[in-house]
Amino acid sequence: MEHDKYALINLVISKMEIDSLDFNDVLNTLTEMHETPKKYFNKLVLTIHGYDNDNREVYEIPEIRNFLQFLDRSFPYWFYYLNTDFPKEHSSHGILASCICEIDNIVQVGNVKNLEFDLESLETFVLNHFKYMNEIMEKEGCTEIEIKELSDRVLSKLM
């Protein structure tokens, strides 16, 4: 994995991997990134591929939800690595949260679906991932200000 300092990493998870529950390539990539965290800070973009002909949203597809929930239990460091530069509606944070957290209600407003998360589920998700994000940031020598800035950027993608 050799990347210039400005490159994003598009972690593509294919329908074939999801259908066969093949986590190897994805986990190997994440593990390799985690060996040198600073190099991959704010670089990761999560993409699900192979569902273009499916009218459902990713969070409505049980196989995707199950895959990401397992992946999240195996690699809880997302908040450190996921890119926060994209607008909220295109954020990988939203994909992850919508597949891991319980959804109480989906409100259709025009062409947009707004999710209403179970608050306890969302709180657990956020606090758990902040814990692991803080762990890496402290290990990498980040200041409290840097940790707060990233926390604020992450929350802006979820709220």
Residue 2 pLDDT? 42
Give tens-digit pLDDT for 76-115.
Answer: 999 999 999 988 888 999 999 999 999 998 888 888 888 8
Looking at per-residue pLDDT, the higher value among 132 and 6 belongs to 132
Tokens 């490159």 belong to residue: 7
* pLDDT score of 110: 87
By three-state DSSP, how is residue 12 classified?
strand
Report pLDDT for 4. 52
pLDDT at 3 over 90: no
16-60 residue pLDDT tens: 999 999 999 999 999 999 999 999 999 999 999 999 999 999 999
pTM (global) more than 0.85: yes
Q: How many angstroms separate the Cα of 89 from the Cα of each of 22, 86, 93, 158?
A: 28, 8, 10, 10
